[in-house]
Amino acid sequence: MATIHDVALDAQVSPTTVSRYINNRIELPASTAARIDAAIAKLDYRPNLLAKRLSTGRTEAIGLVAPEIREPFFAELASAVEDEADRHGYTIFMSSTRSDRQREIASLNRLHDRHVDGLIMMTNTPDDGTLAALIGKRRNVVVIDEDIPGVMVPRVFVENHIGAYKATRYLIEAGHERIGYIGGPDGLYTVRERRAGYLQAMKEANLKVRAEHLAGGSFMPDFARKATLEFLKTRTPPTAILASSDFIAIGVLQGLKQAEIKVPSQMSVVGFDDMPLTELFNPPLTAIRQPIEALGRQGFQVLFSLLSGKQPRCLPCCQCN
């Protein structure tokens, strides 16, 4: 393969000049430029990325770390991030951590090892501080979707509180008074926020929140299925259930199917996240749509400005200090 030296030789200039010319760091008289262009074309020269990276210290790649890319939410998000990255000349490395702390740490190490220039990080397992501490030692990390308490890096979230509030209002306005709620694992920011949104809407409508109609602890459909069956066993079961994620909603639907409760005639169900095709489910699922695409693009843009040395703009969704 041709190197920059070969091109320089052919164009009768020095490698320095060629390098500067192709990186737009110099303006050359037309004749010189033409010679270089011709040499590049003739030799089919393509700069060796590896050499370029070593000498600049940048890879023009970023990492996207998610618990599981198989899940529609993340796949959708990844797609948006990739598109936005592409637009800025960046490529992305994806990794599925399967909620494994070791894999999350491995991603951060890859950042340290200059595998990538920056990281967009998602995690859904509560952190005891290890992760936050490690992130604190790295530069160019952006946390999205779910908070990691104590990290001092830019973060981008969806309006979880408002989303859950609106979903609850929707059920209240439909006339429901006993609305059950099933949330996710304890210790997660999004879980707390959504729950708070639900509670606020209930309180504002002067509706009683019964402890036996509140559940939480896991995102697994099966957990939600069991919780739903518990709800149904109570003396006055709820007439609607707010599920704080689509996976939970799926569990709820399974539980209701098992108990032969018709949706929506006997029970209303509203989900949260956003999974394509849930409208084909039996019964179709109503859900609060999350702006996944915007989340992904915003996440990239914040990271991008970090990488460009710019202070990221303090957007409403990002709690800078």
Residues 20-39 that bind DNA (CB under 7 A): 20, 22-23, 25-29, 32
Residue type, 207: L
CB of 50 to a second copy, least distance (A): 4
Task: Please say whether the beta carbons of 285 and 119 come within 8 A.
Answer: no
CB of 140 to DNA, least distance (A): 17
Length of the chain (residues): 321
Handedness of CA 167, 168, 171, 172 (dihedral sign): negative
Residues 4-23 that bind DNA (CB under 7 A): 4-5, 8, 12-17, 19-20, 22-23
Quick one: 104 or 117, whose CB is closer to DNA? 117
CB of 94 to a second copy, least distance (A): 5
Q: What are the angstrom distances between the C-alpha of 264 and each of 103, 182, 206, 224?
A: 41, 17, 24, 18
Quick one: 9 or 205, whose CB is closer to DNA? 9
Tokens of 194: 């959504």
3-state secondary structure of 143: strand
DSSP 73-110: HHHHHHHHHHHHHHHTT-EEEEEE-TT-HHHHHHHHHH
Say which entry of a second copy, DNA, none residue 280 contacts (CB below 5 to 8 A, set by partner kind): a second copy
Task: Please say whether the beta carbons of 35 and 13 come within 8 A.
Answer: yes
Residue type, 262: K
Measure CA 134 to chain center.
Answer: 19
Residues 54-113 that bind DNA (CB under 7 A): 54-57
Our finding on whether 187 is near a second copy (CB under 8 A) is no
Say which entry of a second copy, DNA, none residue 42 contacts (CB below 5 to 8 A, set by partner kind): none
Which residues make up the interface to a second copy (CB under 8 A)?
46-51, 53-54, 57, 59, 61, 68-72, 75-76, 78-79, 82-83, 91-96, 109-110, 112-115, 250, 253-254, 276-277, 280-284
Which residues make up the interface to DNA (CB under 7 A)?
1, 3-5, 8, 12-17, 19-20, 22-23, 25-29, 32, 45, 47-48, 50-52, 54-57
